[in-house]
Structure 1
Amino acid sequence: MNLTVNDRTYWVEDEGSGPPLLFLHGFTGSTNIWEEVKGHLPGFRMIRVDLPGHGKTGDIGVLSMEEVACDLKAMLQELNIERLSVAGYSMGGRTALFFASMYPDMVDRLILESASPGLRTVEERKERIRKDRNVIDLLENHGIEAFTDKWEELPLFESIKELPASRRHSLRKERLANDGSGLIASLEGMGTGVQPSLWDDLKTLDKPVCLIAGEKDAKYKKLNEEMAEIFPQAQLHLVKNAGHIPHLEKPDIFSEIVRQFMI
């Protein structure tokens, strides 16, 4: 369904009954990335949102993480949800962390998959903005297919090549369904380079946090090991034979981790 908050319209899917659990997708994704996980998690009210620039929400302008978190709060109020648990993958994990930091009284539990609190230094953020500018140039000058070809070749997604062809095709179709202008707006407003660092906020977020990363994803494995040392109440799960997208590569294992955490 379409839900309009703060003069912006988002695509939201609200299914099932039980404890509410909000799922936020990563860059180039949409609500569809959680379809297989949904089948493994009966007994929850599963709310999925297409974030700005993605899926059926599409290009609604350049929005900061803070603005998106504010919109999520308004959406949940429209759905009569006062408190819930939040799960996010990659960019969606950063968004979930922002939401929990801004509205801690609304969050019961936090599930972060292949996510980070951002980049620690100004220099790192400037370098990331420079790299994102190259991505934006590719989208502007060569279109979504050329961008997707390059995106799929990133070392971060190497383990995806081990998936069956049908699942790789579905993932590619999902990425190609996005609009280039929406992805550009997403990078400009919610990219890792432009968001403030939340590393200093981790120690004050005193609620149960489940950190999930793939064992093959060396970068995020290390990041999540660091995060686990800082969060007051964190548990870390490293998924064997998985890379950057455990919920896609090992949906049954990912879902069981979430289910056990939510009990």
Structure 2
Amino acid sequence: MKSNSPRYFIKKWGNPSKDIPPLVCLHGFTGSSKTFESLFDNRQLDFQVIAIDLIGHGQTSVVVDKMYYTFENMCDEVILELKKIGVVYFSLFGYSMGARLALGIASKYPDHISHLILESGSPGLKTTQEQESRRASDEKLALKIEEEGVASFVDFWENIALFDSQKSLPKKSQEKIRQERLSQQVFGLANSLRFMGTGSQPSFWPKLKEMTLESITLIVGELDSKFITIALEMKRENSKFQFITIKEAGHCVHLEKPDEVYQVINSIMKGGAI
């Protein structure tokens, strides 16, 4: 390992099972492994859960080399980090940015993955023009982080329409989410936007038809109309995809309805009906 390479923080719940491969969890932008505490803390788990703080987030070290922040590199890094702890076959659950990354990993390393669970995920943008426009938009946000700092950006970010439904959460839960966002670092967040944003990732739309994993599940909140539309279009591309809508939830379903999302995950992991 190079001396300047990131040191990834990994959080675990439960214990390894000889019958059920572990579940690897990938968080969203401005998040970390902490976001999954509401899902797995105080649960009687029959399998192991492994959450990784992705580059630019949480307790994973912030490095200068921007190569480490690219979408393609992060796909490889997740596989390498899991191999270091003896995990080569697993189910994969990703939320938002983490769902996009999970889809990338599943496309590149299908033999490593049993079940794929995407919460509020997207295969990316379809055209070069859309990608260029999104990269320009993400660059503006990255500059905002660098010029105004994390706190100012979080004030802006938590008030975008995508997260409106989170305002109905208990104040304690809202404050926990805010503190997780505030704990991020300027350089890490800005470069995550630049190199792992939706405009910078490859488009996986053409690959959806080719995916033949044991199961692929799309979880979306019923209040998140944008991602319901995306999920339905993904299912049209590949009828193997299962589509689940969680009532009274927006974009971050696992924070707004943790029990319901856990029930879905637990059923998938144990091979039961959803």
What is the TM-score with the length of structure 2 in the denominator?
A: 0.91
Deviations 1:127-154 (A, max 9, x none): 1111112211211111111100110111
CA RMSD of aligned residues (A): 1.7
- In the alignment, structure 2 segments of 5+ residues that lack a partner are none
Number of residue pairs matched by the alignment? 261
After TM superposition, list the pairs within 5 Å mapping 1:216-227 onto structure 2: 216-227=223-234
After TM superposition, list the pairs within 5 Å mapping 1:91-110 onto structure 2: 91-110=97-116
Provide the rounded CA distance (Å) in 2 between the counterparts of 1:194 and 1:77. 26
Deviation at 1:246, TM superposition (A): 0.6
Partner of residue 184, structure 1: 190
Partner of residue 8, structure 2: 10
Provide the rounded CA distance (Å) in 2 between the counterparts of 1:14 and 1:186. 24
Deviation at 1:59, TM superposition (A): 2.0
- More divergent stretch after superposition (149-158 vs 125-134): 125-134
- Aligned pair partner of 1:139 in 140, 145, 148: 145
Deviations 1:4-40 (A, max 9, x none): 9993311112332223000000000000000010134
2:29 aligned with 1:36: no
Q: 8 Å contact 1:205–1:232 — kept in the other structure?
A: no
Deviations 1:68-114 (A, max 9, x none): 11111111211112211000000000111111111000000100000
2:52 aligned with 1:52: no
Which segments of structure 1 move beyond 6 Å, counting only runs of 4 or more? 3-6
Provide the rounded CA distance (Å) in 1 between the counterparts of 2:2 and 2:238. 34
Provide the rounded CA distance (Å) in 1 between the counterparts of 2:252 and 2:4. 32
Deviation at 1:124, TM superposition (A): 0.8
Deviations 1:37-70 (A, max 9, x none): 0134611211110000000014234321111111
- Aligned pair partner of 2:75 in 44, 69, 81: 69
Which letter does structure 2 place at the counterpart of 1:245? Answer: C
Q: 8 Å contact 2:6–2:62 — kept in the other structure?
A: no
Provide the rounded CA distance (Å) in 1 between the counterparts of 2:226 and 2:3. 36
Provide the rounded CA distance (Å) in 2 between the counterparts of 1:133 and 1:250. 32
2:165 aligned with 1:162: no
Call closer, same or farther: CA 1:256–1:41 in 2, change over 3 Å: farther
- Aligned pair partner of 2:216 in 209, 218, 241: 209
Q: 8 Å contact 1:4–1:10 — kept in the other structure?
A: no
Which letter does structure 1 place at the counterpart of 2:264? Answer: I
Q: 8 Å contact 2:145–2:190 — kept in the other structure?
A: yes
Query: In proportion to residue count, which structure has more strand?
Result: 1
Q: 8 Å contact 1:41–1:259 — kept in the other structure?
A: no
Call closer, same or farther: CA 1:5–1:117 in 2, change over 3 Å: farther
Provide the rounded CA distance (Å) in 2 between the counterparts of 1:88 and 1:65. 14
Deviation at 1:232, TM superposition (A): 4.7
Q: 8 Å contact 2:11–2:50 — kept in the other structure?
A: yes
Provide the rounded CA distance (Å) in 1 between the counterparts of 2:45 and 2:96. 24
| DSSP-derived class of the 2:162 partner | helix
Percent identity, aligned pairs only? 38
Partner of residue 23, structure 1: 25
Partner of residue 256, structure 1: 263
Which letter does structure 2 place at the counterpart of 1:65? Answer: F
